[in-house]
Amino acid sequence: MRLYEWEAKQLLAERGVPVPQHRLVRNAKDASVGADDWDAAIVKAQVLHGGRMKAGLIEMTDGSDAVALAAKRLLACSDRDGAPVEALLVEQRLPVKQERFLGALYDPRARMPVLVYTPHGGIDVEDADASAIARVELDPRQPVPEFRIRAALRRAGVASRDLRAITAIAVTVARTLLELDATLVEVNPLAEVEGRGWVALDAHVELDGDALSRHRTLVERFGLAERGDGGRAPTAAEQAAKEVDALDHRGVAGRLVEFDGDIALIIGGGGASLTVFDAIRDAGGRPSNYCEVGGNPSVLKVKAFTQLLLEQLRPARIAVIMNVVSNTRADLVARGVIEACLATGRDPAETIAVYRVPGAWEDEARELLADYGIDALGREVGIDAASRRAVEVAAAGVAA
């Protein structure tokens, strides 16, 4: 879960990391108040994604009139995903001598959090020379190893006169990752400022959504309970699917992502959903959605989910394709799908292009489907073959 820049900076600043003088504003009028004391200001839209400079969501200004103008323009902008910009960070512009990169994150190869330093901050940090990179593993069972960080920074070429200041900030970045259960804490750039030493000009913190229950004060402080995962705002159908999935705690029938297509998919579990979606597209089909069904959802949930697909996405056909299920009962899935067809006044045999849910309670599912004129496919028909058949049936239906 990504935090806004101002939140990330606040967390680092209260742990002793120097940040520029700043104000958080929510309207253009407030933006210019106080900026007069600074020679120049930078106005930054507070959005939950990177690449703001390239996206035109950051403006460099001189004087308070310019700040107000920039603020007015930025507050009329949308973020990358179309959500309106609601807050700006107005900061003093500082004379920068040089920039560095500092970050703490999890390295899946090492299966450990690591602290990373590179001597080139800024936008293209990925291009840094390997020998000048400092990388220190942060065993979460131990205190943050300050001496190792200091030694690694020295090996990476940090000058003696900068060593204490950069080490202190690096240690704070590392501790913040562990203390807050963050999955990423990044300061980029960390800048040397004329007359002020090292300052975090930008900061990026992502929290572990699975650890929020350990950080209730933080959740309350920034209102994180209401914050989404980023990305584009959910469509009406996606929102409705979340509510369907919350109907009861039995299994999953949701995680809907809407696409522009004509075959609705009821697919699962996670790995099979990815496989089926690719297979439908490879066969020339256009899925109207991605979803995940698994963990033995109730009939109620499958029915509500299928009904939602039929009513909101208005697909020509639906395809029900799952892997060989072991914990999900195939007959309950079948019952839910059939009931949804009937509830929306659609003939199950005309609506369901293919039905492939082999595994637990498969025979009962077959019997039920046969009653409605559907010939369910078994495990002898693979996921690709079932997907091709779905696309063929859908195309034939459209032609007829």
Least Cβ distance, residue 346 to another protein (angstroms): 27
Least Cβ distance, residue 271 to another protein (angstroms): 2
Which residue shows structure tokens 């800048």? 191
Tell me the two tokens of residue 109: 């190869």
- The distance from CA 50 to its chain's CA centroid, rounded to whole angstroms, is 12
CB nearer to another protein: pick between 268 and 336:
268
Count H helices and E strands in the chain, helices first: 13, 15
Contact 319, 354 (CB under 8 A): yes
- CA atoms of 356 and 383, how far apart (whole Å): 8
Least Cβ distance, residue 29 to another protein (angstroms): 34
Contact 292, 255 (CB under 8 A): yes
Contact 63, 19 (CB under 8 A): no
β-pairing, 317-322 with 352-356? parallel
Q: Residues in the site for another protein, rule: CB under 8 A?
A: 49, 105-109, 111-113, 139-141, 178, 181, 183-184, 208, 210-211, 213-214, 229-231, 255, 257, 268-275, 277-279, 281-282, 290, 292, 294, 322-327, 358-360, 379-380, 382-385
Least Cβ distance, residue 154 to another protein (angstroms): 26
CB nearer to another protein: pick between 359 and 397:
359
Least Cβ distance, residue 330 to another protein (angstroms): 10
Nearest residue to 225 via CA among 240, 235, 239, 215: 215
CB nearer to another protein: pick between 289 and 351:
289
CB nearer to another protein: pick between 139 and 248:
139
CB nearer to another protein: pick between 109 and 161:
109
Phi–psi pair at 347, nearest 5 degrees: -75, 120
Least Cβ distance, residue 129 to another protein (angstroms): 18
Tell me the two tokens of residue 118: 């590179």
Least Cβ distance, residue 96 to another protein (angstroms): 25
Least Cβ distance, residue 399 to another protein (angstroms): 25
Query: Looking at residue 3, what DSSP letter applies?
Result: P
CB nearer to another protein: pick between 98 and 275:
275
Cα torsion 28, 31, 34, 37: sign: negative
CB nearer to another protein: pick between 322 and 334:
322
CB nearer to another protein: pick between 23 and 175:
175
- CA atoms of 90 and 344, how far apart (whole Å): 53
Tell me the two tokens of residue 104: 């703490």
Contact 182, 176 (CB under 8 A): yes
Cα torsion 292, 298, 303, 304: sign: negative
Least Cβ distance, residue 382 to another protein (angstroms): 4
**What amino acid is encoded at 128 in this protein?**
A
Nearest residue to 185 via CA among 126, 125, 123, 115: 115
CB nearer to another protein: pick between 314 and 379:
379
